[in-house]
Chain A
Amino acid sequence: HFFHSNVSIPEDLLKNATSNPWSFFHQLSGCHAGEKYDGLAKLKSYFQYFGYIPNSLSNFTDDFDDSLESALRTYQQNFNLNITGQLDDQTVNHIVRPRCGNPDIVNGSSSMNSGKTHNTSSSHVHTVSH
């Protein structure tokens, strides 16, 4: 479907403009590690598609397990989000954004933030009191 800005958009498209295959993930906002929620398996598939969960893993469950938490941390690092390992609103809002289908991580290797040698994660900042 090709359009010239907003002058030629059919009414029926305007009515059906809310479709997004990932909008379902909004329902998962606030889920916590160690719990089970309907739909988390679908989110794990999303992360596997973009390289955040190894292809060696399959038959995903709806458990908020270590693999999902690890994927979330790496994703948050790559996209400069707060690294919480949780499905907070900021992260979910980012996950549902339209994007390129190419993976961010290939065979565990990435040159995005998570592949850099330095670590900018706020969760890894160490302080010493004096």
Chain B
Amino acid sequence: YSFFTGMPRWRKQALTYAFLPGNQLTDEVKTVFSRAFDRWSTVIPLTFTQADSINAADIGIGFYSGDHGDGEPFDGVLGTLAHSFSPPSGQFHLDGDENWVVTGDVRTSSLTTAVDLESVAVHEIGHLLGLGHSSVEESIMYPTISSRTKKVELADDDIQGIQVLYGSNPNYNGSSTTSVQEKETGSSGA
């Protein structure tokens, strides 16, 4: 695991998140993010609650296409999938041009560019909380994820890293499972 320079972290335990109104996301999509936040709050004493106003929320989630004003334009299908900022910025941007699979088994998708939304959400929330990238391939914070792949369970590496920043959730029993369900290793054909 790694941290951003200076190890920035949130100084409060109850965080709120909200969605960009213009995206008009369905409850089904919002539930994916809720599930992703839950995976982190299971192991650390932080809570995440959905708020109505993106301006008032700690974390703002939005889907954007191409140049969206932060100097880091998205590049269409595949390539860069999402990016987010270190605490206490709370900006969480996803590439709106991706083919996001919200529910169902992404591994069985007939679309070779299908990307599992929850997998990317769990990774980006790691950044929002202060984690950088990891060289441990099984970890959530490993920088790449292939299309038609689901990887949502925090690995020991992720848990150890995030607990350095925030400590352990008193109710966390210390067990973790690493689950990588991969259909293919990306458009690379590897």
A residues apposed to B, CB below 8 Å: 1-7, 9, 13-14, 17-23, 26, 50, 78-80, 90, 92-94, 96-102, 104, 106-107, 109-113, 115
Contact = CB atoms under 8 A, between A and B. Distances in A.
Nearest to B123: A100
The prevalent SS among residues of A at the interface is loop
A18 B188 CA distance: 11
A106 B5 CA distance: 8
A41 B68 CA distance: 25
B147 interface: yes
A80 B187 CA distance: 20
A1 B132 contact: no
Contact of A107 (B5, B83, B133): B5
Contacts of A110: 2, 132-133
Interface stretch (B12-20, B112-120, B167-175): B112-120
A45 to B, nearest CB: 12
B101 interface: yes
Interface of B: 1-5, 26, 28-29, 72, 74-84, 96-106, 108-115, 117, 120, 123-124, 127, 132-135, 137, 143-147, 185-190
A100 B99 contact: no
A98 B79 contact: yes
14 contacts: A2-B102, A3-B99, A5-B108, A6-B108, A6-B110, A13-B99, A17-B113, A93-B185, A97-B185, A98-B187, A99-B145, A100-B123, A102-B132, A106-B5
Contacts of A90: 190
A102 B133 contact: yes
Contacts of B189: 93
A22 to B, nearest CB: 6
Contact of B146 (A2, A17, A98, A111): A98
Contacts of A93: 185-186, 188-190
Contacts of A92: 188
Contacts of B97: 1
Given A3-B111, A6-B109, A96 B187 contact: yes
A80 B139 CA distance: 13
B144 A98 contact: yes
Contacts of B103: 4-5
Given A5-B101, A13-B111, A97-B146, A104 B133 contact: yes
Contacts of A98: 78-81, 115, 144-147, 186-187
B124 to A, nearest CB: 7
Contact of A99 (B108, B114, B144): B144
Given A22-B79, A93-B190, A100-B82, 14 more contacts: A3-B99, A5-B108, A17-B111, A17-B112, A17-B113, A18-B187, A50-B143, A90-B190, A93-B188, A96-B188, A98-B187, A101-B81, A111-B1, A115-B2
Contact of A18 (B26, B112, B133, B145): B112
